[in-house]
Amino acid sequence: MDKAVRDAINQQIKEEFFSGYMYLSMSAHFENGNLPGFAHWMRLQAQEELEHAMRLFDYMNRRGGRVVLHAVDQPPAEFGSALSVFEQALEHERLVTGLIHKLYELAAEKGDWATQQELQWFIAEQVEEEDSAGRAVDQLRMAADDSAALLMLDQQFAARTLEGEGETE
């Protein structure tokens, strides 16, 4: 495996763990604000991010590349209103999409077809991730300052299940 591709995948593993860490911090933020449905949604999102990291971890091992784990940055602890939290989540997903696309470009440049194939899954997944965060932002914008609407959304978000388990988001 090309060294630049290997290093970039190791970097992406860290980014996925960081995403998990950030969503877990968002979950704690919602727990603290007594919005258990949003907290649950973020907790599941964190779990999905760990699965993304492990997917790359397993791929690298299958290819005989060396996984080197990097230090994971500290996520913020405060995120503001529910709308602001999901806006930050959407912004973060857009950033991750950019990273995945860059990684794909690198794999193409190095003629690494297998990595390109593996990344196809991530490219499709990012469309889903941006869609679900974007939908949440839209719904929270509609709720605006209506606390009854906010509580209803919180209940709705409590119904989220993990991807592949009859999901609602």
- Using CB under 6 A, list all residues that contact ligand FEO: 16, 19, 49, 52, 93, 96, 129
CB 169 within 8 A of CB 51: no
* Euclidean distance between CA atoms 62 and 169, whole angstroms: 31
Nearer to ligand FEO, 129 or 154 (CB): 129
Closest CB 127 distance from ligand FEO, rounded Å: 11
**CB–CB of 38/140 below 8 Å?**
no
Closer to ligand FEO at the Cβ: 112 or 129? 129
State in Å, rounded, how far the first CA of the chain is from the last one: 36
- DSSP H stretches of helix in the chain: 3-32, 36-62, 82-109, 113-143, 147-157
CA distances from 165 to 108, 110, 121, 169 (A): 33, 37, 18, 11
Least Å distance, CB 16 to ligand FEO, is 5
Least spacing, CB of residue 48 vs ligand FEO, in Å: 7
**Residue of minimal Cβ distance to ligand FEO:** 52
Nearer to ligand FEO, 51 or 146 (CB): 51
Complex with ligand FEO: residue 47 or 156, whichever CB lies closer: 47
Compute the least distance from the CB of residue 96 to ligand FEO, in Å.
Answer: 5
Nearest approach, Cβ of residue 131 and ligand FEO (Å): 11
**Please, which residue, 124 or 142, has the CB nearer to ligand FEO?**
124
Backbone angles phi, psi at 49, to 5 degrees: -65, -35
